[in-house]
Structure 1
Amino acid sequence: MEMVNLTSGFVLLGFSDFHYNHAALFSTILGIYTLTWTANLLLLTSIKVSPHLHTPMYFFLGNLSAVDISFSTVTVPKLLSCILYGRTSISFLGCFLQMFFFLFFGTTESFILAAMAFDRYLAICNPLRYSLLMSDKVLGMLTSNCYLAASLHSLLHTYMLSHLTYCKHRLIPHFFCDVTPLIKLSCSSTKLAELLIYTEGSIAGNIPFLFILISYVLITRAIVKMKNSSRRSKAFSSCSSHLMVICLFYGTDIFIYFRPPSDYSSQYDRLVSMAYTIITPMLNPFIYSLRNQDVKQALKKLKKNVSHN
């Protein structure tokens, strides 16, 4: 049996087994990708140039925008290539680099969302001690730990899968190198890799979600106890955008990774993957911009400064 080596690589099936209008899909995805870059860069610039947005919440939001741009860039260019040319080749090294960064940015977003939940918890449940508890040192440690944990998680899975044996059949039924299609493509034992996914992978995915859940249980309890209705409304408003982003992120994530292996369908996975690799990074900045008065004001100020210049 012929093994895949560093030069032979893989072939991404993309959507070559689907019947669709190539020009329309290419134009739509390119438009969404352009909008993702534009919206997230605008949000990042607004946060940077507006002193009143130099707070922990917007620091995390800026990191989230940077991660969203990177996350979509890992997969969308290759997806556009698949739409244009059908099946697209990718080198062995390129495939595992893509998988590493896909896991890295996806996991980083999960941890940043958990850090943002912690920030909201401190701001609402401990307002008097907030500035002390969420100091620059704590903020730096939280953020760096998000990236460090995500890099270790991604490196572990990428290393494990890159050391599997891949045989002559090297067609990946996806538009990027993802974990499940690669495991199914291997002709060697994948028990250790699958065990790693179900143990470490589940821990890395579930801990941020549980942390968010506990944070919001405590936040909800604190909001309900507030006697001042305007204060209660303001507290809820500061959390609503974050909650919408969480639902969007974990909603699509659950459809892909939290289901039995027997339910695996390559066509289903490709369609759902388009939602969280393309749609979610585009929607996040709009959710925060449309529902946040501070961000709206910063964007208006940025627009005014640009028009004057």
Structure 2
Amino acid sequence: MTWTVVDDGDGSPRIVIAEPAGSTAVVLLNGAQIVSWKNDRHEELLFMGSKVIKKPSKVVRGGIPICFSEFGDTGFQNRNRLWILDSDSSPLPPPKTSSTVDLLLKSSVEDDLKIWPRSFELRLRIILGSGKLTLIPHVRNTDSKVITFSFSLQNYLSVSNISEVRVEGLETLDYFDNLSERKRCTEQADAITFDGEVDRVYLSTPPKIAIIDHEKKRTLVLRKEDLPDAGVWNPWDKKAKMLPDFGYDDYKSMLRVDSSAIEAPIVLKPLEEWNGRQELSFVSSSYCSGQLDPLKVLHG
């Protein structure tokens, strides 16, 4: 296991994780946001807006933000909070071929209880392996009352050209269309492709989704557990102009696919716990070169 805590003196400490095969990841302690994931060839796999300015307590648009909030997003949100290393975690020893970091966020009497009068512990395990990044969120209700919340891992993925990307595994499913006041629709296409702005939340999704990048000859496989919904977002050109972290052409090289619990809230009684899981992995020279059937990626 190899990781180090780095602080450049700007008030934004981060953890740099490395695994034996050579891949790396960087996570900010502010918000537990992963801002970089590189493979063993030092290729960046996550997208970060080209105009992002990293400042303490500032949420940046890119990487993998962790979104935990009172259901309906009206109360507490974790994205501007400083997490700590979880010294109380007692996990099974990780495989020798991966590196693991455990982070912890506890509710604070001074800050959080004024906004959301509930007590909780939010943990995040980050496991970096060769060609694989796994996130395991864990929420424990330490309050005397029920807590209700939504949760999302927002994956900003680096792609070659959004017009050459297709998403498989969400066909025939219902989704909320955020461009039409959350109208409930049904996906009619065999795969999701992109020729304009898309902002949807697909409901009751399968545990495996494939993001196929024809130009990079690469397929990203998203596996998830207890995160039933999947957001799909690209702002396209007009919306990108209004986003402070985005350069004009940034929308062409990104796609956000979320692992979420949005439609139905997660409800925990006192002392109850919830675990989710997400695994991102890449398959090289896949569908676009005819060497891999995308259905085998989804169902294998």
TM-score, normalising length from structure 1? 0.24
Between 1 and 2, higher relative CO (CA 8 Å, sep ≥ 6) is seen in: 1
Choose 1 or 2 for highest CA Rg.
1
- Higher strand content, 1 or 2: 2
- Higher helix content, 1 or 2: 1
